[in-house]
Amino acid sequence: MSTQEEYDCIIIGAGAAGLMCGITAGQRGRRVLILEKSNKVGKKILMSGGGHCNFTNLYSEPENYLSENPHFCKSAFSQYTQWDFIELVNKHGIAYHEKTHKDNDGNDIQKGQLFCDDSAKQIVAMLLDECQQAGVEIRTRCEIESVECDHGFALTSNLGNFHCESLVVASGGLSIPTLGGSGFGYELAQQYSMQVLDKRAGLVPFTLSGELKEMSSRLSGLAVHVDLSCRQQCFNEDLLFTHRGLSGPAVLQLSSYWHAGDEVAINLLPGKDVFEVLKKAKGVQGKALLRTVLTKYLPKKLVHECEARWFVAEKELPLAEITDTRLQEIADCFTQWVIKPSGTEGYRTAEVTIGGVATDELSSKTMESKTRPNLYFIGEVVDVTGHLGGHNFQWAWSSGYVAGLNV
């Protein structure tokens, strides 16, 4: 019989959740092994936040998450909060800042997003340092061939055979295969007859087709602050036109709620009564053209495209000659522009996978399977997905921590 290396706990995946779980379990004196298929750990952390890692959000709360059961995440968040992670970051002397955004009037506002001043590498180094201090072993380039229940769990791999009492699945979702995205966790859940909910790409750009795509391509690189809505969700953030369609924070946020075939409403001038603006201009500068007034509020290139779409007949008409009814119709075009994306860019560029291992299958306190004792699922593989802004890492830290306390 071939030899088996024995551990108390094996964690599959050395991403954000797996590393946090390993640290917590190791600190409790558990013998922990993390098996990672890639050549290095924490690849998504390294790539995140444009290389600065948006590691948490000051205002992270259950409302920032999508899940079949919106209450599921509460227990993990109450056991390990953003303040706990910030304390860890402070302990390691990592400098960070809260990102500044612009509101509708161009004023600076903050939304609680914390980024490293220097580099995301510091977060990975911090986690590896904590792993080392807690005696956690990590092996990379590990291809797991099989997982069997055997008074615990028996694993075979290209690096040998392993046995453990508790097994934690922290293999993430399908997003960005080149950064480790894989279906491993979902398949393992199904192997144990656990329910896996439908999955789709989230935090992902929209693709457009036909003349909308051509227009977006002409405006490529241009960003505007909008209200973007669909399915009773509305995000007030930047929208970015691209060669393939639409991106930017507003689009990424809404994409997590969007389903194929849905229409999306864009308000290009949020917070403004556009009809009142146009009517007032008609009163005080009746000789002006619509585009002259509108370019005070929107980029010239965009107004030019809107003119061709929505008020070509009034293109050269002075405001005084346009009826109020028409002004209202034109104003509505700017505030209620409805488009139908042809799709999303999919897992190739999505930041997250929506859906996954059903929360009904897991204990919200510990992340342990309700039907398979000592089997845990944490992080993105679970049906809990955060908004953009550091919320996804906070879920990884919190769910990893609570599992680490119990394995």
Which one among 22, 26, 152, 172 touches ligand FDA, defined by CB under 6 A?
172
How many other CB atoms sit within 10 Å of the CB of residue 1? Answer: 4
CB atoms within 10 A of CB 203: 24
Q: Does 176 bind ligand FDA (CB under 6 A)?
A: yes
User: Considering only residues 390, 401, 403, 406, which one is a binding residue for ligand FDA as defined by CB under 6 A?
Assistant: 390
Selected from 25, 35, 215, 264, the binder of ligand FDA by CB under 6 A is 35
Handedness of CA 368, 374, 377, 378 (dihedral sign): positive
Residue 365's alpha-carbon distances to 14, 81, 82, 377, in angstroms, are 22, 14, 17, 12
Does 248 interact with ligand FDA (rule: CB under 6 A)?
no
Contacts (Cβ under 8 Å, ≥6 apart) of 27: 134, 404
Question: Among 46, 154, 179, 333, which residue sits at the site for ligand FDA (rule: CB under 6 A)?
Answer: 179
Sign of CA dihedral 394, 236, 238, 176: positive
Minimum Å distance from CB 112 to ligand FDA?
12
Which tokens is 57 given? 């959000």
CB-side neighbour CA atoms (13 Å) of 269: 23
- Report, in Å, the least distance between residue 399 CB and ligand FDA: 8
Q: What does each C-alpha distance from 84 to 58, 91, 106, 393 come to in angstroms?
A: 11, 11, 33, 13
- Would you give the binding string for ligand FDA spanning residues 353-382, x where CB under 6 A is met? --------------------------xx--
The least distance separating ligand FDA from the CB of residue 319, rounded to whole angstroms, comes to 45
**Residue 335, interface with ligand FDA (CB under 6 A)?**
no
* DSSP state, residue 387: P
Contact assessment for residue 385 and residue 353, using Cβ atoms and an 8 Å cutoff: yes
Which 264-323 residues touch ligand FDA, going by CB under 6 A? Answer: none
Query: Is residue 383 within the footprint of ligand FDA (CB under 6 A)?
Result: no
Q: Which of residues 141-160 bind ligand FDA (CB under 6 A)?
A: 142, 144
Degrees to nearest 5, angle at CA 177 with 171 and 181: 15
Q: With contacts defined by CB under 6 A, name the span among 89-97, 131-139, 175-183, 286-294 that binds ligand FDA.
A: 175-183
DSSP per residue, 177-196: GGGT--SHHHHHHHHTT--E
Q: How far is the CB of 299 from ligand FDA (least distance, A)?
A: 27
**Residue 36 in contact with ligand FDA, rule: CB under 6 A:** yes
| Residue 396 binds to ligand FDA (criterion: CB under 6 A) | yes
| Segment near ligand FDA (CB under 6 A); pick from 178-186, 238-246, 253-261, 292-300 | 178-186
Exposure class string for 260-284: b at 16+ Cβ within 10 A, else e? eeeebbbbbbbebebbebbbebbee
236 binds ligand FDA (CB under 6 A): no
Out of 30, 43, 200, 387, which residue is the one contacting ligand FDA (CB under 6 A)? 43
Does position 352 interact with ligand FDA (CB under 6 A)? The reply is yes
- The residue count for binding ligand FDA (CB under 6 A) is 38
Binding segment for ligand FDA (CB under 6 A), chosen from 31-39, 220-228, 254-262, 285-293, is 31-39
Which phi and psi (to 5°) does residue 57 adopt? Answer: -135, 130
Which residue stretch of 44-52, 125-133, 194-202, 322-330 sits at the interface with ligand FDA (rule: CB under 6 A)?
Answer: 44-52
Residue 318 and residue 320: Cα distance in Å, rounded? 5
- Which tokens sit at 353? 């996978």
Q: Is 15 in the site for ligand FDA (CB under 6 A)?
A: yes
Of residues 142 and 303, the one with the C-beta less far from ligand FDA: 142
Whichever of 229 and 406 has its CB closer to ligand FDA, that residue is: 406
**In angstroms, rounded to a whole number, what is the distance separating the alpha carbons of residues 9 and 4?**
14
Cβ proximity to ligand FDA: between 44 and 282 the closer is 44
Three-state secondary-structure class, residue 329: helix
Site residues (vs ligand FDA, CB under 6 A): 12-18, 35-38, 43-44, 47-49, 53-54, 142, 144, 170-172, 175-176, 179-180, 182, 184, 351-352, 379-380, 390-393, 396
